[in-house]
Amino acid sequence: MPDRPWRIRPDGLEVRVRVTPKGRRDAIDGVEALSDGKLVLKIRVRAAPEDGAANEGVRRLLAKALRLPASAVSLEAGATARLKTFLIAGEGEALAKDIAALTGR
């Protein structure tokens, strides 16, 4: 069982995310274990889950937190689900260290 909700890939970092739309603020709330034991990055965004607005909010929040252009973050899976997978393009090891620092992992 991985102890992180992300995985290094040759093209960057794959991150499993659980999104809470219509939150009071945009924030990365740390790491959470799902009922099946898988870990996810908990993210809340102010945007409503309409017309991809929440997905865009998550994309921009991840990019801002990692000091990357928004174009470096893309949605890989889960466009209409609460559980999503994002790909952050770049050097995987460095991105993993940056996101670990954000989450205390």
Give all domains of the chain, ordered by start, each with its CATH number: 6-103 (3.30.1200.10)
Q: Rounded mean pLDDT of 7-28?
A: 95
Q: What is residue 69's three-state secondary structure?
A: coil
Share of the chain above pLDDT 90, in %: 91
Q: Is residue 56's pLDDT more than 80?
A: yes
Q: Rounded mean pLDDT of 18-33?
A: 94
> For every residue of 28-56, which 3-state class applies, written as one string?
EEEEEECCCCCEEEEEECCCCCCCCHHHH
For residue range 57-102, what is the model confidence (pLDDT) as tens digits?
Answer: 999 999 999 999 999 999 999 999 999 999 999 999 999 999 999 8
Q: How high is the pLDDT of residue 2?
A: 63
Q: How high is the pLDDT of residue 28?
A: 94
